[in-house]
Chains A and B, each alone.
Chain A
Amino acid sequence: MAQEIKLPEGLGDLSTMSQTVDEAAGLPFDLSGFLESRIGTRLQKDALEKDTSIGEMRLQVGIEKEFDSLTFNLVSDFIYDPVQDRYAVDLETGQGVVDLREANVVFSPLDFMDVKLGRQILTWGTGDLLFINDLFPKDWNSFFIGRDDEYLKGPSDAIKTALFFGDYNLDIIYVPRFDADRFIDGTRLSFFDRAQGSLSGENPVLANPPDKWFGDDELSLRFYGSIGAFETALYYYNGYWKSPAGQNFITGLAEFPKLQVFGASARGPVGKGIGSVEVGYYKSADGAASNPLVRNSEFRFLVGYEQEIGTELTGSVQYYLERKSDYDQYVASLPVGAIQDRRDRHMFTLRLTKLLMQQDLRLSLFNFYSPSDKDGYLRLKAAYKIRDNITAEIGGNVFYGQKIYSFFGQFKDNSNIFAALHYDF
């Protein structure tokens, strides 16, 4: 097998590389973003909502500008959404033609300190689509109607101070005015209204959010470090339940009761994969135990494991528990005829992700199943990259359950399929 292997260019007489300098970019800042259209339909009639579950054109523009010692970030979405059909801009709820996702400056006033000031997306914790100590705003509407995963996170208007002491680090996040979840309020998705005892849609829940600057504020702390190969963290949160978890006794309006959370997590290699565990104690407002109008304190627990299980195939499983702390008092305080929740809510999740065609085709499945609520939620998605910057996507969100009032069961009429065409620049 005689084979002539030619010397590669340059090896004959090694010369110093003439390093090509990148041509200066045309813009004085870094620009990125995408344009997409996304359309979806309910799989069944919902008397309370439109058949079209999603129908929108979305342009995202991201601008990043670096100065000597600080970086400025701006990310904003511009949306044409005839399904919602509301064009007045509300930057808090993200409704209307503009959804400002990021507008912040990042700087390091000290060697061991990073500060991010302004509107930002925040995430921490170890769960996969389940959150215990991550009390930053979630957008459940986007999540359930088939927008990209990034929209599960709503923005926070916050100052994040990160301190690095080597082995141990501390994040301090202060939100001067409470940022609620973009919770299910009936405008896009129907839900079970326990106060009414029936499904509700179109008529938004009249929430009464804490909205005083510097009065109704939130504080999130994370103290973290590695122990060997394991990443460990302690968490603290002081603020409000992020979605309505109470009702005003007099007005009947939905409320966000006070909430404190104490938690911890660990994550690291286990066997061939990654294992994680997270706990949290949700301390609800004073008197919650015996007040049927305020959600009880809870203990929450999560354990997860992810591993590659085949060629370009990854699988993960999680077990999640929510346990009411003062269950006897909760039961005793319930009005006659009220729906009585179990003490424990158990949930299992399964994720499978398969890459095909040189990673151009991505198939994913995520299933939530609760044996205690006897309900669940299946997310399916296939995304194919037609070119480097064009992706076509189809998917479905299927809710199932026996009870009309259970967490996922209430959304049965919202089961939907969607398709999207996405162009990145």
Chain B
Amino acid sequence: MLEVKSLRAGYGGTEVLRGLDLSVGAGEIVAVLGSNGVGKTTLNKVLSGVLRANDGEIRFDGKTLTGNSSADIVKAGLIHVPEGRKIFPNMSVRENLDLGSYRRGRDRRSVNLERVFDTFPRLRERSGQAAGTLSGGEQQMLAIGRGMMAEPRLLILDEPSLGLSPLLVEEMFALIRRLNGDGLPILLVEQNVVQSLECASRAYILENGIFALSGSAEQVRNDPDLKRAYLGM
């Protein structure tokens, strides 16, 4: 579904991504793992059209998306749930969800709203409340719910477990599996190596702007370098 070829990007003269190749197939969960400052957020920004790539190609569903605007990318169904949620704090939960279908899925807004509320009953309870007053976990649910409103054909989840309590982290990964169970391909960008590898089918390890390691989750999990670097074993 999503294919990235020799992608290069950065800010000003600083190159952050130095040639990335990545693919996400239909129905897959693919994890991009790495610690802070290796380029995960930059990769997401390029994929969602917020930042221009310097070189390389992004193809989604057989169409080239390189250099397209965020609006076009959303329209194509490549939906990015950003790190730090980036919900609209001054607006109600309901309005946040409405805006999820601003560019895509507008005709089926009410049907999708019910679906999101069924997935997150908590959001239904709080639909009139200002989004900025929600707890961190609820805000994360809202951010994902807002993404679901656009009927994603592929969902990019950027650090969905960041800042959540251990119990909520478990819940979040269960939710990711559940979303994927309905056939939705997911690109999971995470620092949480152990749990991400448990739910992903394949994984890429990002280090200093290149993929230092990639393969099936099984292979990656058993790689001696990864064990030493990320799992302290």
A binds B: no
Residues of chain B whose beta carbon lies under 8 Å from any beta carbon of chain A? none
Residues of chain A whose beta carbon lies under 8 Å from any beta carbon of chain B? none
